[in-house]
Amino acid sequence: MSFDLLSGKLPSAEIILTVPFFDVDMLGIVWHGHYVKYFEDARCALLEKIGYDYLTMKASGYVWPVVDLRVKYTAPARFGSRLRVGAILKEYEYRMKIGYEIEDLESGIRLARGSTIQVAVEVESGEMCFGSPQVFLDKLRAYSDE
């Protein structure tokens, strides 16, 4: 099913965070694996914005495991830095592809870019869906009507 989402503008969200001490190594640089956690935080904000957070997904009979993750690091994040983490829905008809960008809030320097791909899996059967469930498409339609 196809529909116009805000004349082609797909949903996006951003969060602001301050790098905590426990995310850095002995040099004060964020360990590379924590960028994935920052992506997840922004993804949760995006899903909440469209009314389809993880609890809503599960209640609707679907879960969306990540099947692909890509990260390109361009500059280090450091202890105490304030970061802007953005997430934008890039694909939705057959899978959920979300793009991410992390930048230093003070300097505006991009620190990392990435993407995740998630596929819908029916909770009851455990079967992967070959298209996005109608409930997800309905949430996107409702978001675009706002």
Interatomic CA distance for residues 19 and 79, integer angstroms: 5
- Residues 131 and 94 sit within 8 Å (Cβ to Cβ): yes
Question: What domains sit in the chain, N to C, each tagged with a CATH number?
Answer: 6-145 (3.10.129.10)
Q: Is the pLDDT of residue 3 over 80?
A: no
* Model pLDDT for residues 24-37, shown as the tens digit of each residue: 999 999 999 999 99
Average pLDDT of span 95-113: 97
Is the pLDDT confidence value at 78 over 50?
A: yes
Q: At 8, is the pLDDT very low, low, confident or very high (cuts 50, 70, 90)?
A: low
Helix, strand, or coil (residue 80):
coil
Strand partners of residue 91: 97
Q: What are phi and psi of 57, to 5 degrees?
A: -55, -55
Q: Which residues have a Cβ under 8 Å from the Cβ of 79 and sit 6 or more positions away?
A: 19, 20, 21, 23, 24, 28, 29, 30
Instruction: State how far Cα 7 lies from the chain centre.
Output: 21
Please name the amino acid found at residue 120. Answer: A
Global pTM reads 0.91
How much is the pLDDT for 61? Answer: 97
Check residue 1 and give its pLDDT. 28
